[in-house]
């Protein structure tokens, strides 16, 4: 029979007392809870955690050249791109081709950012807009026009107004 | 008893009943808030100012949920168990004095439902009835996990009841009374918590186990047993178990207050003489409950064999020794005279201090010798 360690009640009581003291001290620390829909803490300025954005050049032309590399990179098959040749008189993007249609399905997107890494022209980037809630399936598919616009202010998504 | 007495009695019963329900409501909110505070969270914030109505929201939710009876359940027992969980908790509170008697309609009205001559025994009886609700609930559910939970629970509650009773017996001997009002009256100079401090500690620990609160919440043990004895319960029946558990916590705290913390006694100004004892009583009960919540926030659940070992090998021998010492303190002065006993105790205490100072030196040397070989 192996010898069992004897319980030292003195040190056990001391340990419990120290534990109680440690827990009591937490009362005076600042609470970490954020009252989310009521008070929205802005995310860090350089955070890239949320919705995509299709960027433009400074002269207003779209950076996207319709190469579909983002769609190939996407592990969730969330991106749909349809490329077309530019009209030389009225180019949408510099170069030969542009994206005629560009859609991202946010019911599929897993926010991995591989599309952003794949993009050769920095046309596709992530923003800090994380309120991706929708009321219908159709709404969850963002079109090219929506993706070209910067995302709305936080706290305007459906469901947040009740806070 | 004439008609006025009956009306007064019924009024007291109704007031105490609703006051208890209200206290449970505040207690649940308080527990969640205090634990949140100790974990640097804020706790419930939405229902009412700072979330104080959270219990009502919970209650409404539970009330409107579907009550499911499992096909394997023993129906009558299954329906009865939640009621049994609630009843003893309410009944035990009947003998707790929570204020100074007042004059009303030309007669003395005690702030107590029934001043039984065996008040303390009544409390012990009611707290032992609590076991039935858990055993019956676990057995009648016709399911494995509830049964395991209830078996664990009955063993635990019966074991710790012994320790709890021993602590209470010491108070009875010291106060020389079974009637709750007399026990409170006997504490007019010094609260029992000072001469009976070891008993108080035993009672608090055993009370934790009796009410199935962490770190002795093995009957529930949601991480191992799903939810223990009430796994199969839902809706209003589950709410009754929940209510019974918190009522029990209040009762244990109220008994601790009455037997050790001087009941409703406390310094009181002359204005509104009936109010201050009530406030003191509430304050002391809340203090005990606060300590329970604090312990819940600190200590992890202990292993089952350790729980039983602690109950049987530590609490009960300790309680027995304390009863013996209390008895010696009460009886010996009458037999041998006060001075002789005080001298004997002083010498004994001195020997104990000397031994406890020398013993670590001896023990360390022995350990070193073992380590060298």
Measured distance CA(A71)–CA(A119) in Å, rounded: 10
Which tens digits make up the pLDDT trace of A13-48? 888 889 999 999 988 888 888 888 878 888 888 888
Going by DSSP bridges, is the β-strand pair A124-126/A79-85 parallel, antiparallel, or unpaired? unpaired
Measured distance CA(A85)–CA(A66) in Å, rounded: 9
- Chain A positions touching B41 (Cβ under 8 A) are 31-33
Alpha-carbon separation of residue B264 from A52, B127, B259, B261, B280 (angstroms): 66, 22, 11, 8, 6
Complete DSSP assignment for B145-176: HHHHHHHHHHHHHHHHHHHHHHHHHHHHHHHT
Q: Residue B182 has what pLDDT?
A: 84
Measured distance CA(A67)–CA(A124) in Å, rounded: 12
The full 3-state SS of B223-246, as one line of letters, equals HHHCCHHHCCCCHHHHHHHHHHHH
> Encoding tokens for residue A45?
């300025």
Torsion sign over Cα A126, A127, A132, A136: negative
Q: Residue B368 has what pLDDT?
A: 56
Which of B184, B324, B353, B329 lies closest to B264 in space, CA to CA? B184
Which residues have a Cβ under 8 Å from the Cβ of B285 and sit 6 or more positions away? B250, B253, B254, B257
Whether A32 sits inside 8 A of B299 (CB atoms) is no
Measured distance CA(B54)–CA(B35) in Å, rounded: 15
Domain ranges of chain A: 52-148
- Which of A19, A27, A29 shows the shortest C-beta gap to B298? A19
Which tens digits make up the pLDDT trace of A40-91? 888 888 888 889 999 999 998 999 999 999 999 999 999 999 999 988 888 8
pLDDT band of A4, cuts 50, 70, 90: low
Average pLDDT score over residue span B163-186? 87
Which tens digits make up the pLDDT trace of A110-142? 999 999 999 999 999 999 888 888 888 998 999
> Between A and B, how many CB-CB pairs are < 8 A?
34
- Chain B positions touching A9 (Cβ under 8 A) are 314
Helix (H, G, I), strand (E, B), or coil: what is residue A142? strand
Measured distance CA(A108)–CA(A102) in Å, rounded: 15
Going by DSSP bridges, is the β-strand pair A79-85/A52-54 parallel, antiparallel, or unpaired? unpaired
CATH 3.30.70.3270 fits A52-148, yes or no: yes
Q: Which residue of A has its CA nearest to B39?
A: A26
Distance from CA of A117 to the nearest CA of B (A): 38
- Chain A positions touching B45 (Cβ under 8 A) are 35
Whether B299 sits inside 8 A of A16 (CB atoms) is yes
Q: Residue B242 has what pLDDT?
A: 85
Angle at CA of residue B340, ends B328 and B316, nearest 5°: 20
Helix (H, G, I), strand (E, B), or coil: what is residue A103? strand
Domain ranges of chain B: 3-336
Which tens digits make up the pLDDT trace of B275-294? 888 888 899 999 999 999 99
Residue B70: other Cβ atoms inside 10 A:
16
Helix (H, G, I), strand (E, B), or coil: what is residue B31? helix
């Amino acid at each position: 029979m192996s010898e069992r360690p004897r319980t030292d009640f003195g040190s056990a009581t001391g340990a419990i007392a120290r534990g109680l003291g440690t827990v009591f001290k937490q009362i005076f620390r600042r609470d970490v809870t954020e009252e989310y829909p009521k008070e929205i803490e802005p995310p860090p300025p350089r955070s890239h955690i949320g919705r995509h954005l299709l960027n433009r050049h400074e002269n207003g032309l779209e950076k996207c050249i319709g190469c579909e590399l983002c769609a190939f990179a996407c592990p969730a098959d969330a991106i749909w791109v349809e490329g077309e040749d530019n009209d030389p008189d009225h180019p949408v993007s510099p170069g030969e081709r542009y994206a005629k249609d560009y859609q991202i399905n946010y019911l599929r997107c897993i926010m991995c950012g591989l599309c952003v890494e794949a993009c050769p022209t920095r046309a596709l980037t992530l923003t800090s807009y994380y309120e991706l809630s929708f009321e219908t399936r159709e709404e969850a598919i963002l079109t090219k026009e929506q993706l070209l616009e910067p995302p709305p202010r936080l706290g305007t998504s459906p469901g947040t107004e009740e806070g | 008893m004439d008609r006025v007495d009956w009306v007064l009695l019924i009024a007291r019963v109704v007031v105490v009943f609703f006051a208890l329900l209200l206290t449970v409501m505040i207690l649940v909110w308080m527990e969640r808030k205090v634990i949140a505070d100790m974990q640097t969270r804020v706790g419930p914030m939405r229902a009412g100012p700072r979330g104080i109505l959270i219990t009502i929201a919970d209650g409404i939710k539970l009330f409107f949920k579907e009550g499911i009876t499992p096909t394997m359940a023993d129906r009558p027992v299954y329906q009865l168990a939640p009621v049994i969980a609630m009843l003893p908790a309410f009944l035990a509170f009947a003998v707790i004095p929570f204020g100074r008697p007042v004059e009303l309609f030309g007669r003395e009205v005690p702030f107590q439902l029934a001043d039984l001559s065996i008040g303390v025994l009544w409390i012990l009886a009611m707290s032992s009835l609590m076991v039935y609700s858990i055993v019956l609930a676990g057995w009648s559910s016709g399911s494995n996990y509830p049964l395991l939970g209830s078996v664990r629970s009955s063993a635990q509650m019966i074991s710790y009841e012994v320790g709890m009773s021993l602590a209470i017996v010491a108070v009875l001997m010291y106060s020389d009374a079974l009637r709750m009002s007399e026990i409170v009256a006997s504490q007019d100079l010094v609260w029992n918590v000072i001469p009976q401090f070891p008993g108080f500690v035993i009672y608090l620990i055993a009370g934790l186990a009796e009410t199935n609160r962490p770190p002795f919440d093995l009957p529930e043990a949601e991480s191992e047993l799903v939810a223990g004895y009430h796994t199969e319960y839902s809706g209003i029946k589950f709410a009754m178990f929940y209510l019974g558990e918190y009522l029990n916590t209040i009762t244990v705290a109220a008994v601790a207050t009455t037997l050790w913390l001087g009941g409703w006694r406390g310094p009181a100004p002359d204005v509104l003489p009936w109010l201050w004892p009530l406030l003191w009583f509430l304050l002391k009960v809340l203090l005990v409950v606060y300590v329970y919540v604090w312990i819940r926030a600190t200590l992890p659940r202990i292993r089952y064999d350790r729980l039983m070992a602690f109950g049987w090998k530590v609490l009960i021998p300790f309680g027995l020794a304390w009863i013996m010492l209390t008895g010696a303190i009460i009886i010996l002065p009458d037999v041998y005279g006060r001075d002789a006993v005080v001298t004997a105790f002083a010498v004994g205490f001195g020997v104990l201090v000397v031994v406890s100072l020398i013993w670590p030196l001896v023990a360390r040397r022995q350990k070193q010798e073992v380590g060298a070989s």
